[in-house]
A = this chain, B = another copy of it.
Amino acid sequence: MQDSNHDNHHTENVQDHLKQVESLLHKHALLEMVAHRQVIPREDRHVVVDSLLHKQHLAELHRKLDDLHPADIAYILEALPIDQRLLVWDLVKSERDGEILIEVSDAVRDSLIASMNREELSAAAGQLDTDELADLAPDLPQNVMRDVFKSLSIEEREQLREAMSYSEDSVGALMDFSMIHVREDITLEVVSRYLRRFDELPDHTDQVFVVNREDKFIGVLPINLIVVNEPELSVSSLMLTDTIQLHPEEKADQAAQAFERYDLVSAPVIDEDGKLVGRVTVNVVLDFIRTESESDLLNQAGLREEEDIFASVWKSAQNRWLWLALNLCTAFFASRVIGGFENTIEKFVALATLMPIVAGIAGNSANQTTTIIIRSMALGQITQGNARRLLIKELAISGLNGLVWGGVAGLFAYFLYHNVALGVVMTSAMLLNLLVGAIVGMIIPLALQKFGRDPAIGSSVMITAITDSGGFFIFLGLATIFLV
């Protein structure tokens, strides 16, 4: 039974693996309790038949883990609480440590690295390619990096230095060095002979790169063309020269868009002298896109970085504090705006009940505007030509919303307090604040981008600050003029 999992692990769902590991860990924990003569919960006693089982279960867990793909182990490690995570981590065969460390999220990686000593870390790092090592390097202690560096060849040291020299959001950071290159003046026959000298080609080799005698990139030769064409044809007659070329300093985001747009599997990376320095493959782009979109969602809620869901309360709280502190400041400011109208509210307490409506709806509407604008900006679709046009459109939508929903809110106020003037003030304040929302919802992301900041971060705090304080000011101000 224990071996029945062996051959079909890829067709199973990774969640099933997680459940199996959890159940084995549960049994293991119970057996530990037996070993330490602790009291076992009644419903779990049937599991503990015999203390021989203890070793059996651990062995079963071991086997189960050996069967799994490193990415699946990474997934399971992320889903386990720290104590169980470290138990499983100890059971994983040490020759796979490197691969798994590359796969886990940054937060979880920290917890794993903290449990390893210098020798283990050096051994794990030694299993990696230079481009993977560059990703891991910032998390490794300096003495480990020194060990690793010593063990590299001169070429590998050069690659590692290069890979680490690029900023995290550049093509250079996505690049690997496992590309195959050939000369243009040979035949497919010769290329095939050359390729047969490899036991296997590097992953994602959908094309080999064609370079001239000075190592300058001149084109690509898709593997599929080698397969469908006669062996006597020359590389130069088949190679494609009109292809995507990436540059190491280019934004990773641009490269990702190129992969999506042109359906690439791999693309050459060329330096300013026209030399082939590496390649980017689609699996790395996929990870990049997923990570980016996740950090967009996290940033929107003011989470500074991905959280290990089992991190300590203290660590998680720190991840969330900046955002709460910022929001508290803007809330204090809004509170002082209201404070300026205390006399008005004292005379007309209905205002206190209605003012959150004015602030809230404009905030929602402004966030819709910003979401649309930030998305179009990310796609590069906002040009000087259409920015004014879009602002007018957003103002028109807000005007329409102001009449419709402001009207509804005005009626709500009128029916509650039987005061026509209050209803009119409510509608006018909604309309004005929605217009304010459209303007700031459009201008703040554009301004952040102009100053070189990421518009997805921070836009929403600023917008909410303005629609809140602005809404209170407009509504209470109009009320002071027309009602009191």
A339 interface residue (CB < 8 Å to B): yes
Query: Roughly how many angstroms separate A282 CA and B259 CA in the complex, as a whole number?
Result: 10
Q: Are A335 and B316 in contact (CB-based, < 8 A)?
A: no
Q: Are B81 and A386 in contact (CB-based, < 8 A)?
A: yes
Q: Are A328 and B357 in contact (CB-based, < 8 A)?
A: yes
A45-53, A88-96, A121-129, A376-384: which lies at the B interface?
Answer: A376-384
A482 interface residue (CB < 8 Å to B): no
Query: Roughly how many angstroms separate A391 CA and B290 CA in the complex, as a whole number?
Result: 26
Contact string against B for A residues 178-202, beta-carbon threshold 8 Å, 1 for contact and 0 otherwise: 0000000000000010011011110
- Residues of chain B within 8 A (CB-CB) of A3 are none
A483 interface residue (CB < 8 Å to B): no
- Residues of chain B within 8 A (CB-CB) of A204 are 263, 265
A34-42, A132-140, A294-302: which lies at the B interface?
Answer: A294-302
Query: Roughly how many angstroms separate A81 CA and B225 CA in the complex, as a whole number?
Result: 41
A8-16, A55-63, A161-169, A447-455: which lies at the B interface?
Answer: A8-16
Query: Roughly how many angstroms separate A228 CA and B199 CA in the complex, as a whole number?
Result: 7
Minimum CB–CB distance for A206 against chain B, Å:
6
Minimum CB–CB distance for A271 against chain B, Å:
14
- Residues of chain B within 8 A (CB-CB) of A254 are 13
Q: Are B323 and A242 in contact (CB-based, < 8 A)?
A: no
Chain A 277-309 interface residues, beta-carbon cutoff 8 Å to B: 282-283, 285-287, 289-290, 293-294, 296-298, 300-303, 307, 309
Chain B residue, CB-CB nearest to A105: B379
Q: Are B296 and A383 in contact (CB-based, < 8 A)?
A: no
A364 interface residue (CB < 8 Å to B): yes
A87 interface residue (CB < 8 Å to B): no
Contact string against B for A residues 311-323, beta-carbon threshold 8 Å, 1 for contact and 0 otherwise: 0011011001101
Chain B residue, CB-CB nearest to A226: B227
Chain B residue, CB-CB nearest to A16: B380
Query: Roughly how many angstroms separate A401 CA and B260 CA in the complex, as a whole number?
Result: 42
Chain A 49-102 interface residues, beta-carbon cutoff 8 Å to B: 69, 71-72, 75, 78-79, 81
A390 interface residue (CB < 8 Å to B): yes
Chain A residues with a Cβ closer than 8 Å to the other chain, count = 131
- Residues of chain B within 8 A (CB-CB) of A309 are 372, 376, 381, 386, 390
A213 interface residue (CB < 8 Å to B): no
- Residues of chain B within 8 A (CB-CB) of A2 are none
Minimum CB–CB distance for A189 against chain B, Å:
12
Interface of A is mostly: helix
- Residues of chain B within 8 A (CB-CB) of A259 are 286
Q: Are A228 and B198 in contact (CB-based, < 8 A)?
A: yes
> If A242-B8, A245-B11, A397-B317 touch, does A307 touch B372 (CB 8 Å cutoff)?
yes
Q: Are B225 and A200 in contact (CB-based, < 8 A)?
A: yes
A112 interface residue (CB < 8 Å to B): no
Query: Roughly how many angstroms separate A224 CA and B204 CA in the complex, as a whole number?
Result: 9
> If A289-B289, A309-B390 touch, does A405 touch B328 (CB 8 Å cutoff)?
yes
Minimum CB–CB distance for A14 against chain B, Å:
7
Query: Roughly how many angstroms separate A227 CA and B198 CA in the complex, as a whole number?
Result: 10
A444 interface residue (CB < 8 Å to B): no
Query: Roughly how many angstroms separate A299 CA and B350 CA in the complex, as a whole number?
Result: 33
> If A262-B71, A287-B260 touch, does A228 touch B242 (CB 8 Å cutoff)?
no
22 CB-based A-B contacts, threshold 8 Å: A10-B243, A10-B262, A18-B383, A69-B261, A71-B261, A75-B381, A265-B265, A303-B368, A307-B372, A309-B390, A313-B393, A317-B397, A317-B400, A321-B401, A324-B361, A324-B365, A325-B405, A328-B357, A334-B356, A338-B356, A345-B349, A346-B346
Interface residues of A (CB under 8 A from B): 7-11, 13-15, 18-19, 22, 26, 69, 71-72, 75, 78-79, 81, 192, 195-196, 198-201, 203-206, 223-230, 241-245, 254, 257, 259-263, 265, 282-283, 285-287, 289-290, 293-294, 296-298, 300-303, 307, 309-310, 313-314, 316-317, 320-321, 323-325, 327-328, 331-332, 334-336, 338-339, 342, 345-346, 349-350, 352-357, 359-361, 364-365, 367-368, 370-372, 375-376, 379-381, 383, 385-386, 389-390, 393, 396-397, 400-401, 404-405, 408-409, 412, 416, 468
